[in-house]
Structure 1
Amino acid sequence: MWVDHYLPHWTTPDRSAARYENTPEGLRLRIEADQPDWREEDAPLRVSNLQTGTFSGARGSTRGTHRHREDGLTVRTPTPTRLLWAPTAGRVDITVSATRDAGCMVAAWLVGTEHESAEHAGEICLFEIDAGSIGTTTRARCGLKAHGDPRLVTDMAEVEVPLDASQPHTWTAVWGDGETTIGCEGVTVRRLQQAPDYPLFLMLDLFEIGRPGGSYPKTATFHHLRGWADRGPSR
């Protein structure tokens, strides 16, 4: 159900490959000292990611999942269309321990596959948690990003949750019928009157943003994940 590369079509396999391990506590994503930047143009930026499918156009084209920037992303490694889990509506619960490693961020997103249309590009951001935002309470970003979908309006907000996010805790997204709800530990933190209505891939991410430093590996652990697909080309 998982592809262990971060948006592999926009870069090369040695740069997109995730570093990770299975542990008794769950799946641990790692950033390691010898890990290359995702793309040379984006340096310094290193990432380990798992995602539930792939899609791209031909080499040199601009077609592909998650055209999250408009500054020259072109396909370098064509990838097949793989809809391993791509619901158009549903629910996902993710239990995670975020990293406290300086310069790092842990995130979970549902992103439009774009295999049917380049306008199917919206994103549900369950959470983006910077290491520096974790304490006895934690600040996180969540909401919707329109990207290339003209029917959506970007609506992101920072929320504060009353927990230390480096300890196991659960985020939930429920979406469909024009509404998206995001919660943390059973408490709703965002309710938005819009939702993507096309296939979405799930992405789990650990980023190191900025110049490398400190001790390695830098890690975040995903303890448990469960998803329900109300409809769509998922299996």
Structure 2
Amino acid sequence: MSVCLATYNGEKYVLEQLNSILLQLSNEDEVIIVDDNSTDGTLDLIKGLEDSRILIYQNKSNIGPIKSFEKAILKCNGDYIFLSDQDDVWEKDKVSTCVRYLKVDSINLVIHDAFVVDSELKVVNNSWDTYNKNHFTKNITGTLIKNPFCGAMMAFKKELKEYILPFPDKIDMHDMWIGLQCQVNGIRYKHINDRLIKYRRHDGTVTGKRKSITKMIKKRMTMFHLVVLSKGKKQK
């Protein structure tokens, strides 16, 4: 099993997150960390754990979260791949729950719910799906209008890499792209109501920020075009 984590100036929360992950992994599992040229003590803290399961790759320049996650996924060796933000906390049954669903032959991607918490892990809402008004549909239109797919709440089989990589340069976010590739290619995914992480929302949060309507529409049109072109094709 592989966990992909993209870090950037995450010294405040990254150890708490890593400790919650490492407790659930076996000695054969790996945590692939791609650091996006952090300027704080993030890397020193991670190296201080001295855990052989952690493999660190440092970008020479800032390339952003999409390409950092692409790099991490490419380097994964596990049969099951988990995506992780640097500032959340995993519930103790996250890995076992997701793997149980992924062991079903026809399920290639699992998306779960989460507790929404503040910087001090105080619960703001008991459900990210409710808080964010997520609605999972069977078609790409619903996803393009309101993306319910969140990378921090995803786990998928390694076979999915052939459909999602490389991430196109102009996509809005990688998690929406992954969800859309499943929908457009008829790849079965499973949404579960289990709240398997504490999803931290704070001033330094990189993902989940609101965009202007005009900018969002332009990005969604671009995404639609890319998805239509990719239908039925494995990425090269």
Q: Tell me the TM-score normalized by structure 1.
A: 0.28
If each structure's strand is expressed as a fraction of its own residues, which one has the higher value?
1
Which of structures 1 and 2 has the larger relative contact order (alpha carbons within 8 angstroms, sep 6+)? 1
Q: Tell me the TM-score normalized by structure 2.
A: 0.28
If each structure's helix is expressed as a fraction of its own residues, which one has the higher value?
2
